[in-house]
Amino acid sequence: MFQQLFDSIQEKVTVTPAEMDICKTFFIPKKLRKKQTLLQEGDICIHNAFVEKGIMRSFFTDEKGNEHIVQFAIEGWWITDLSSFLTKSNSIYTIEALEDCELLLLTMEARETLIDKIPMFERYQRLLLQNAYIANQARINSALTETAEEKYVKVGLAYPGIIKRVPQHMIASYLGLKPETLSRVRKQISTRI
Protein backbone atom coordinates (compact mmCIF):
# COMPACT_ATOMS: atom_id res chain seq x y z
CA MET A 1 0.00 0.00 0.00
CA PHE A 2 2.82 2.46 0.81
CA GLN A 3 5.50 1.09 -1.47
CA GLN A 4 5.35 3.78 -4.14
CA LEU A 5 5.33 6.53 -1.51
CA PHE A 6 8.34 5.08 0.28
CA ASP A 7 10.21 4.81 -3.01
CA SER A 8 9.35 8.39 -3.87
CA ILE A 9 10.53 9.72 -0.51
CA GLN A 10 13.71 7.69 -0.45
CA GLU A 11 14.59 8.84 -3.92
CA LYS A 12 14.72 12.43 -2.64
CA VAL A 13 15.70 12.39 1.04
CA THR A 14 17.14 10.09 3.70
CA VAL A 15 14.70 8.78 6.33
CA THR A 16 14.84 5.92 8.83
CA PRO A 17 12.39 3.00 8.81
CA ALA A 18 11.01 4.33 12.09
CA GLU A 19 10.29 7.69 10.46
CA MET A 20 8.64 5.91 7.58
CA ASP A 21 6.36 4.15 10.01
CA ILE A 22 5.36 7.43 11.61
CA CYS A 23 4.81 8.83 8.15
CA LYS A 24 2.29 6.11 7.32
CA THR A 25 -0.04 7.15 10.09
CA PHE A 26 -0.67 10.57 8.56
CA PHE A 27 -2.05 9.35 5.26
CA ILE A 28 -5.61 8.32 4.54
CA PRO A 29 -5.79 5.46 2.03
CA LYS A 30 -8.57 5.86 -0.48
CA LYS A 31 -9.73 3.83 -3.44
CA LEU A 32 -11.45 5.43 -6.39
CA ARG A 33 -13.14 3.61 -9.23
CA LYS A 34 -12.70 4.81 -12.79
CA LYS A 35 -14.55 8.11 -13.40
CA GLN A 36 -14.96 8.87 -9.70
CA THR A 37 -13.63 12.23 -8.56
CA LEU A 38 -11.36 13.33 -5.76
CA LEU A 39 -12.26 16.99 -6.28
CA GLN A 40 -15.16 18.66 -8.02
CA GLU A 41 -14.89 22.07 -9.64
CA GLY A 42 -16.20 24.66 -7.19
CA ASP A 43 -15.23 22.69 -4.07
CA ILE A 44 -12.25 23.41 -1.85
CA CYS A 45 -9.38 21.01 -2.35
CA ILE A 46 -8.55 19.61 1.09
CA HIS A 47 -6.21 16.84 -0.02
CA ASN A 48 -2.79 16.39 -1.42
CA ALA A 49 -3.08 13.03 -3.18
CA PHE A 50 -0.31 10.55 -3.86
CA VAL A 51 -1.05 7.89 -6.48
CA GLU A 52 -0.09 4.38 -5.33
CA LYS A 53 -1.89 2.71 -8.21
CA GLY A 54 -3.82 3.85 -11.26
CA ILE A 55 -3.91 7.12 -13.12
CA MET A 56 -5.60 10.43 -12.33
CA ARG A 57 -6.16 13.63 -14.25
CA SER A 58 -7.04 17.20 -13.33
CA PHE A 59 -8.90 19.39 -15.79
CA PHE A 60 -10.97 22.53 -16.09
CA THR A 61 -13.83 23.55 -18.34
CA ASP A 62 -13.71 26.86 -20.20
CA GLU A 63 -16.62 29.20 -21.02
CA LYS A 64 -17.23 27.42 -24.31
CA GLY A 65 -17.58 24.13 -22.46
CA ASN A 66 -14.27 22.67 -23.61
CA GLU A 67 -12.32 20.56 -21.15
CA HIS A 68 -8.62 21.25 -20.75
CA ILE A 69 -6.41 18.70 -19.03
CA VAL A 70 -3.94 20.30 -16.65
CA GLN A 71 -2.10 17.29 -15.29
CA PHE A 72 -1.93 13.51 -15.35
CA ALA A 73 -0.62 11.55 -12.36
CA ILE A 74 0.42 7.91 -12.49
CA GLU A 75 1.97 5.70 -9.80
CA GLY A 76 4.53 7.64 -7.78
CA TRP A 77 3.12 11.08 -8.61
CA TRP A 78 1.27 13.65 -6.55
CA ILE A 79 -1.84 15.46 -7.67
CA THR A 80 -3.83 18.30 -6.12
CA ASP A 81 -5.07 21.80 -6.86
CA LEU A 82 -2.30 23.61 -5.04
CA SER A 83 -3.97 26.99 -5.30
CA SER A 84 -7.21 25.79 -3.73
CA PHE A 85 -5.38 23.60 -1.21
CA LEU A 86 -3.13 26.38 0.04
CA THR A 87 -5.56 29.27 0.04
CA LYS A 88 -8.73 27.27 0.79
CA SER A 89 -10.37 28.87 -2.22
CA ASN A 90 -12.89 27.26 -4.54
CA SER A 91 -11.21 25.16 -7.15
CA ILE A 92 -11.67 25.65 -10.87
CA TYR A 93 -10.38 22.12 -11.44
CA THR A 94 -11.87 18.66 -11.25
CA ILE A 95 -9.62 15.75 -10.28
CA GLU A 96 -10.81 12.41 -11.59
CA ALA A 97 -9.69 8.78 -11.80
CA LEU A 98 -9.02 7.52 -15.34
CA GLU A 99 -8.58 3.97 -14.03
CA ASP A 100 -9.43 2.35 -10.69
CA CYS A 101 -6.99 4.03 -8.32
CA GLU A 102 -5.42 3.65 -4.91
CA LEU A 103 -4.53 6.98 -3.38
CA LEU A 104 -2.86 8.18 -0.20
CA LEU A 105 -4.39 11.43 0.98
CA LEU A 106 -2.76 14.10 3.10
CA THR A 107 -4.81 16.92 4.61
CA MET A 108 -3.29 20.31 5.32
CA GLU A 109 -3.25 19.62 9.08
CA ALA A 110 -1.66 16.19 8.63
CA ARG A 111 0.90 17.73 6.32
CA GLU A 112 1.87 20.39 8.83
CA THR A 113 2.10 18.00 11.74
CA LEU A 114 4.14 15.61 9.64
CA ILE A 115 6.53 18.40 8.67
CA ASP A 116 6.92 19.21 12.39
CA LYS A 117 7.63 15.61 13.37
CA ILE A 118 9.81 14.64 10.43
CA PRO A 119 11.71 17.68 9.14
CA MET A 120 12.94 15.69 6.15
CA PHE A 121 9.38 15.63 4.92
CA GLU A 122 9.45 19.37 4.43
CA ARG A 123 12.56 19.02 2.30
CA TYR A 124 10.87 16.25 0.31
CA GLN A 125 7.86 18.48 -0.32
CA ARG A 126 10.04 21.42 -1.30
CA LEU A 127 11.96 19.28 -3.78
CA LEU A 128 8.69 18.10 -5.31
CA LEU A 129 7.48 21.66 -5.64
CA GLN A 130 10.76 22.77 -7.21
CA ASN A 131 10.60 19.98 -9.76
CA ALA A 132 6.99 20.76 -10.53
CA TYR A 133 7.87 24.43 -10.98
CA ILE A 134 10.69 23.62 -13.38
CA ALA A 135 8.49 21.21 -15.34
CA ASN A 136 5.80 23.88 -15.63
CA GLN A 137 8.33 26.39 -16.86
CA ALA A 138 9.30 23.97 -19.62
CA ARG A 139 5.64 23.44 -20.44
CA ILE A 140 5.06 27.17 -20.84
CA ASN A 141 7.99 27.43 -23.21
CA SER A 142 6.67 24.48 -25.16
CA ALA A 143 3.13 25.86 -25.37
CA LEU A 144 4.34 29.27 -26.54
CA THR A 145 6.98 28.24 -29.04
CA GLU A 146 6.44 24.74 -30.44
CA THR A 147 4.34 23.36 -33.27
CA ALA A 148 1.72 20.66 -32.69
CA GLU A 149 4.14 18.00 -33.88
CA GLU A 150 6.98 19.17 -31.65
CA LYS A 151 4.69 19.19 -28.62
CA TYR A 152 3.47 15.67 -29.32
CA VAL A 153 6.92 14.22 -29.90
CA LYS A 154 8.22 15.81 -26.70
CA VAL A 155 5.40 14.62 -24.50
CA GLY A 156 5.90 11.12 -25.88
CA LEU A 157 9.56 11.20 -24.94
CA ALA A 158 8.98 12.80 -21.55
CA TYR A 159 6.03 10.67 -20.42
CA PRO A 160 5.94 7.43 -22.41
CA GLY A 161 4.07 5.73 -19.54
CA ILE A 162 1.24 8.19 -19.82
CA ILE A 163 0.55 8.23 -23.54
CA LYS A 164 0.29 4.46 -23.53
CA ARG A 165 -2.45 4.46 -20.90
CA VAL A 166 -4.56 7.46 -21.81
CA PRO A 167 -6.96 8.02 -24.74
CA GLN A 168 -5.40 10.01 -27.53
CA HIS A 169 -7.91 12.85 -27.29
CA MET A 170 -6.82 13.45 -23.71
CA ILE A 171 -3.21 13.83 -24.80
CA ALA A 172 -4.50 16.34 -27.33
CA SER A 173 -6.32 18.20 -24.56
CA TYR A 174 -3.18 18.24 -22.40
CA LEU A 175 -1.23 19.73 -25.31
CA GLY A 176 -3.88 22.31 -26.17
CA LEU A 177 -4.68 20.63 -29.50
CA LYS A 178 -7.90 19.36 -31.02
CA PRO A 179 -8.22 15.55 -31.31
CA GLU A 180 -8.46 15.80 -35.11
CA THR A 181 -5.23 17.76 -35.21
CA LEU A 182 -3.37 15.23 -33.10
CA SER A 183 -4.68 12.41 -35.28
CA ARG A 184 -3.32 14.17 -38.38
CA VAL A 185 -0.01 14.93 -36.68
CA ARG A 186 0.41 11.25 -35.84
CA LYS A 187 -0.40 10.22 -39.38
CA GLN A 188 2.09 12.75 -40.67
CA ILE A 189 4.81 11.37 -38.41
CA SER A 190 4.07 7.74 -39.27
CA THR A 191 4.23 8.30 -43.02
CA ARG A 192 7.63 9.97 -42.66
CA ILE A 193 9.33 7.11 -40.84
Partner DNA sequence: TTTCTCTGTTGACCTAAATCAACAGAATTT
Partner DNA sequence: AAATTCTGTTGATTTAGGTCAACAGAGAAA
Give the binding site for DNA (CB under 7 A): 147-149, 167-170, 176-187
Other C-beta atoms within 10 Å of 173: how many? 21
Q: What are the phi and psi torsion angles at 20 (to 5°)?
A: -60, -40
Q: Should residue 134 be labelled a site residue for a copy of itself when binding is judged by CB under 8 A?
A: yes
Q: How many positions of this chain bind a copy of itself (CB under 8 A)?
A: 24
Quick check: 154 binds a copy of itself (CB under 8 A)? Answer: no
Minimum Å gap between C-beta 1 and a copy of itself is 29
d(C-alpha 95, C-alpha 80), whole Å? 8
Radius of gyration of the chain, Cα coordinates, nearest whole angstrom: 18
Side by side, the strands of the sheet bearing 78-79 are 28-32, 101-107, 47-53, 78-79
Binders of a copy of itself among residues 64 to 83 (CB under 8 A) are 66, 68, 70, 82-83
Could you write out the DSSP letters of every residue in 82-134? HHHHHHTPBPS-EEEESS-EEEEEEEHHHHHHHHHH-HHHHHHHHHHHHHHHH
Residue 10 engages a copy of itself in binding (rule: CB under 8 A) = no
Can residue 159 be called a binding residue for a copy of itself (CB under 8 A)? no
| C-beta closer to a copy of itself: residue 41 or 102 | 41
Q: What is the DSSP string of 160-186?
A: HHHHHHS-HHHHHHHHT--HHHHHHHH
CB of 28 to a copy of itself, least distance (A): 23
**The entry of a copy of itself, DNA, none that residue 62 binds, CB within 5 to 8 Å by partner kind:** a copy of itself
Give the binding range for a copy of itself (CB under 8 A) out of 13-21, 29-37, 122-130, 182-190. 122-130
Please select the residue that binds a copy of itself; options are 14, 17, 65, 140, rule is CB under 8 A.
Answer: 140
Judged by the rule CB under 8 A, the positions of this chain that interact with a copy of itself are 60, 62, 66, 68, 70, 82-83, 86, 126, 129-130, 132-134, 136-137, 139-141, 143-145, 175-176
